[in-house]
Amino acid sequence: MRRVYRPGSTDCQPMQAPTPPQVSGPPYEQFLALVARSGMDIGRHGTYTEAYFEERARLYCSLLQQGEMMKITSEVTFPPVRNWFETTQDRPRLETALLRIAALNYCRNAWGQEQSWEATFVR
């Protein structure tokens, strides 16, 4: 078990996984709120329906639980094209928001991994 010194302490204590924040409301509504706060217009992305959200959330949770960080990067960077007329602008940012909400709601035990992925791959 890895141990660390906490700020202001002289005792070496066991490392603990970060605690996920509390969530409220249905996951898809959380996603829409995060997208809006990020300044993106979900109206320009008609494929981001609740069904699409649920499908991608299951995929991301599965990849997180398998530790497939590079596959997550690939999925976020190159999401599937469902509508050729939909703009590609913001799609990686939308996928990152989807990943974050999925981890908070469907696979909370992998939330720390999701946060590590964001810290490493999101610029």
The DSSP secondary-structure symbol of 16 reads -
Rounded CA-CA distance 63/41 in Å is 27
Domain total for the chain? 1
DSSP helix/strand/coil, 86: coil
Mean pLDDT of the chain: 88
- Residue 20 inside a domain? The answer is no
DSSP states of 32-85: HHHHHHTT--GGG-TT--HHHHHHHHHHHHHHHHHT-HHHHHHHHHSPPPS-TT
Rg (CA), the chain: 16
Per-residue model confidence as pLDDT tens digits over 13-69: 776 666 776 778 999 999 999 999 999 999 989 899 999 999 999 999 999 999 999
Q: Which has the higher per-residue pLDDT, 1 or 60?
A: 60
Task: Indicate whether 75 belongs to any domain.
Answer: yes
Structural domain span for residue 59: 25-121
Per the domain annotation, does 8 fall within a domain?
no
In tens, the pLDDT along 73-104 reads: 999 999 988 777 777 789 999 999 999 999 99
Within a domain: 6:
no
Q: Is 102 part of a structural domain of the chain? A: yes
Judge whether 2 lies within some domain. no
Cα separation, 101 vs 121, in Å, equals 17
Is 62 among the domain residues?
yes
The label of the residue with tokens 């970060």 reads 18
In a domain? residue 97? yes
